[in-house]
Amino acid sequence: KVKPGQCFTVTLPPPEAATPGAQDIPLTVVYEDDDLIVIDKPTGLVVHPAAGHADGTLVNALIAHCGAELSGIGGVARPGIVHRLDKETSGLLVAAKTDAAHQGLAAQFADHGRTGPLERVYRALVWGAPFPPQGRIDAPHGRDPHHRQRFAVVANGKEAITHYVTDRGFPAADPIASLVSCRLETGRTHQIRVHMAHRGHPLLGDTLYGAGFRKRLPEVAQEKLAVLRGQALHAAVLGFAHPITGETLRFESPMPPALAALAEALDAV
């Protein structure tokens, strides 16, 4: 604690360069033209440099792939980045290669598809069976006051809306888990994970919001869950208007092998 009359001398270290370097990291390119690029991001890849992840990110890979073409609007640490996926979340992500494309895409993501063709659908494996089997979760979102690394539904939080549909249960008669499709109407950090946990159906493999549920699974499914390397969440559909041509583009991505194997194991329950 600071006491009256005390003086402090602060020495600031020299700033480190914030510009990420190019790294030859394999990318699964779904679509690319002169204005943008759509990537199918694998689980475990961080989108942009941040604390604890100075390199080895999607941005480093994009710089190597696109060179100087990436839009600079995102800043020196986030060139081309319009939206993000969590490190452990796999699936479709679009990056801008020109400033005009970045502005057009950013406007669509800010609108969240309310007036345009932006479409984002995630597939998730959740514990239990949501009731009702489809619905709209409208619950304010903010930093968890008791856990700095978590978010939560809080009274004074920002608007957060998730639409969900239960595709099937495992087993169908009395599900211990379900495959759910979620469509975002807002884009808060960890939104699907927070909303489903708030409803009592956290995502399988989500140690931050759903710890303690693994013991309920049969042994084979537990083995598949153990190799999942994160929460069972995949950005399966991404649609938007091309920011330059106006053409509506829509892409679909199948579940990655580890997630598909877990669903198959659950299907055998």
Active site residues: 86
Tell me the angle at which helices 219-226 and 257-267 cross, rounded to the nearest 10 degrees: 170
1 vs 4: CA distance, rounded Å: 10
Own/partner pairs, 189-194, CB within 8 angstroms, 24+ separation:
189/151, 190/86, 190/150, 190/151, 191/141, 191/160, 191/162, 192/122, 192/124, 192/162, 192/233, 193/231, 193/233, 194/141, 194/151, 194/152, 194/153, 194/160
62 vs 97: CA distance, rounded Å: 10
Instruction: Tell me phi and psi for residue 126, to 5 degrees.
Output: -120, 160
